[in-house]
Structure 1
């Protein structure tokens, strides 16, 4: 029996290694290859879209960082949709210099609905072709001074969808904020950056991206309303054959939840949203993989693949073998205990190495003291382990969009001065 179970485990591990082997190439490319850089010949007119719900504490800082860009101010207009607000977000945004629309709809909640409403108002008042591209930000974001000019270089070189380098406003707060921050840094350099260098499609992650007007016109506005509208948007465009670009030199900052309950709620929505996208688009991605041999569709499929669900199925399969072999409960427990311990240790080491490589290579972009940078290497795997119960609950729970409170009102210079 022991030999049978060992053979099953080894075969499963080999399959997983083969499926994710391409990410080793991503790692090597991220380590040793320089990011792609472009030069712009044209300066395009942009609209900045911000969906905000009760964000009076932070939205003025974002608007200020947009107005202080080194890009021609007459080519950038800032639009805010104050979405179901119960505070004076709209007033604060107007005073800061944004064009503000107020939306009240308790039936259609979420960023996707708010963006679609805002695009509809812009189309109605300015027409569908006035702006060549649309930036999308969350109200808690802060932009580096050259953000728009850097994004314009990639946009001007033929990329109709462009994402950017996501950093953290409050990396140093605790093990939760650093866990988010380290993952986003890893995503920027060792996923999207590597994809861009290799000519594959990148993936939009939440906020900080640019969309060509033709994409918006083709979609009739913003047509993604699942719990993770960003992942749905990426998946739909990759299936259509659009390539999402990445600008390594365009950096913005994002606020991460400090309290575990807020992190739980946010990641519960993300996990449920990933399941929604996987089960809605998984079949289409598989068709593209095997019929048209689209690597970006394979990459997207592996990004969406619910690893927890696969792991549970593997354990159940092993259990089935044990029962079929009529093995004693002691052998069963020993086998499953060994499998669980191996999985925990291997996962901890993998996450630690992932965090270590990212921390060393992105050291200058992590704004906290050296002691915390080192300490958070050891808590990063723990942060990632907390996805386990979140993913289990997300499989069965009925989840609705909930706002995450933001309160870190700082400038880019203040972030870097920590």
Structure 2
């Protein structure tokens, strides 16, 4: 085979890795900022006024877990007269609504098979609150998934950050089932990394954080300005975050507000969920990409936040897809005995293997550092903590085929079954 072609294949794979490393090199700065912040400790935030919050839970067939969530809300170290719990039982066929009512929540049932998804359920309940409970004058809305559990100081801590002037606040996402297997641990370790090595340094650097599905607080003015919850792409959380950043808002992070949620433990469920996320990222970039990129060059205070979110929703998946297409072309050519046949397959395989080793090394370092610094907050045996740091890169690698499939397949929202029934004491 032509030596130049062999060199070209190696250079292509190295270039893809180098491009990936350069694009995300700023996150290494994030890690140093996070280290310094952890070393010094976050400045103590004053309590400030007590705000009145409506807690909204969108639930679909969550009879096993919703009672524990409501119990953890009712047991908050926060005045009960400043909290109301609302549950929208969305297309439920079980006892979710009844159990939520018995636990003390205000429940509304919604049946709509055309508008399916969490965004529609949130909008439905927000409109009910605005119509039937406007006299209660809520200052903000806390949003949770039915499988969540809240640390007893969660809302008090969120209230402190809310009083700093942030109109949107996200929190520290821990896991109910870290110890279940490598899949649930892969999710959990990423969310811990996202909290402490993405959102924490963003907060320190006065950039914007991003909400992540659940465990966040939104000011009433944001909902009023938007006319409800208007985000209905497959990843309504990222869509909401991007839309706020484009407007110039900074999303805050409260590291002392800790909640726990359940992660998928089977590969089929994980595949379906992350396929929706990948497709949703593509949708968000298609809808907001122009404004995000424009914000990088034309924005004032939010230029870096626009860049950060652009990196979050697109390049990693795009680079992965391009790399697969290029290497797939050479594999196919070799199969049909073109460009040197078996030799080109061997060279392509070696080049890809080198890239995989480099990617594995970077992801392992990220996972290992997060494991060590969050050691006390990870609720499983010590040997599992180490084992799941080793398997973390493998979990992240599975995003590659998911990202490729998401490009071509029509994806619809599908519920994820939650079966880990634990109280807050059980988790801790």
Cα deviations by residue, 1:16-47 (Å, 9 ceiling, x for unpaired): 33221110011111122134542122110000
Q: What is the DSSP-based 3-state SS (H/G/I as helix, E as strand, rest coil) of the residue aligned with 2:405?
A: helix
CA distance in 2, matches of 1:205, 1:128: 30
Contact 1:61 1:142 in 2 (8 A): yes
**1:282 Cα deviation from its structure 2 partner:** 1.1
Q: 2:216 aligns with which of 194, 209, 213?
A: 209
CA distance in 2, matches of 1:269, 1:8: 30
CA distance in 2, matches of 1:59, 1:215: 27
Q: Which residue of 1 aligns with 2:69?
A: 62
Q: 1:29 aligns with which of 33, 51, 67?
A: 33
CA distance in 2, matches of 1:138, 1:11: 41
Q: Which residue of 1 aligns with 2:400?
A: 388
Distance 1:38 1:12, change over 3 A: same
**1:8 Cα deviation from its structure 2 partner:** 4.8
CA distance in 2, matches of 1:233, 1:132: 19
**1:335 Cα deviation from its structure 2 partner:** 3.7
Contact 2:269 2:416 in 1 (8 A): yes
Q: Which residue of 2 aligns with 1:409?
A: 421
Q: What is the DSSP-based 3-state SS (H/G/I as helix, E as strand, rest coil) of the residue aligned with 2:46?
A: coil
Q: What is the DSSP-based 3-state SS (H/G/I as helix, E as strand, rest coil) of the residue aligned with 2:169?
A: strand
TM-score w.r.t. length of structure 1: 0.94
Distance 1:5 1:407, change over 3 A: closer
Q: What is the DSSP-based 3-state SS (H/G/I as helix, E as strand, rest coil) of the residue aligned with 2:177?
A: coil
Give the count of matched residue pairs.
414
CA distance in 1, matches of 2:166, 2:257: 15
Q: What is the DSSP-based 3-state SS (H/G/I as helix, E as strand, rest coil) of the residue aligned with 2:293?
A: helix
**1:126 Cα deviation from its structure 2 partner:** 1.8
Gaps of 5+ in 1: none
Q: What is the DSSP-based 3-state SS (H/G/I as helix, E as strand, rest coil) of the residue aligned with 1:162?
A: strand
CA distance in 1, matches of 2:135, 2:398: 44
**1:15 Cα deviation from its structure 2 partner:** 3.3
**1:166 Cα deviation from its structure 2 partner:** 0.2
Distance 1:369 1:23, change over 3 A: same
**1:176 Cα deviation from its structure 2 partner:** 1.0
1:300 matched to 2:300: no
Q: Which residue of 2 aligns with 1:362?
A: 374
Distance 1:37 1:267, change over 3 A: farther
Distance 1:5 1:408, change over 3 A: closer
Tell me the C-alpha RMSD between the 2 structures: 2.0
**1:327 Cα deviation from its structure 2 partner:** 5.0
Gaps of 5+ in 2: none
Cα deviations by residue, 1:363-402 (Å, 9 ceiling, x for unpaired): 0000001111111122212211221222222111111111
CA distance in 2, matches of 1:171, 1:407: 14
1:257 matched to 2:264: yes
CA distance in 2, matches of 1:169, 1:312: 33
CA distance in 1, matches of 2:275, 2:327: 28
CA distance in 1, matches of 2:248, 2:43: 21
Greater mean deviation of Cα atoms: 29-38 or 252-261: 29-38
Distance 1:383 1:4, change over 3 A: closer
Distance 1:54 1:17, change over 3 A: same
Q: Which residue of 1 aligns with 2:236?
A: 229
**1:307 Cα deviation from its structure 2 partner:** 2.1
Q: Which residue of 2 aligns with 1:15?
A: 19
Q: Which residue of 2 aligns with 1:39?
A: 46
CA distance in 2, matches of 1:109, 1:371: 41
Q: Which residue of 2 aligns with 1:103?
A: 110
Alignment of 1:15-414 (within 5 A): 15-33=19-37, 34-35=41-42, 37-127=44-134, 130-292=137-299, 294-314=303-323, 316=325, 328-329=340-341, 332-414=344-426
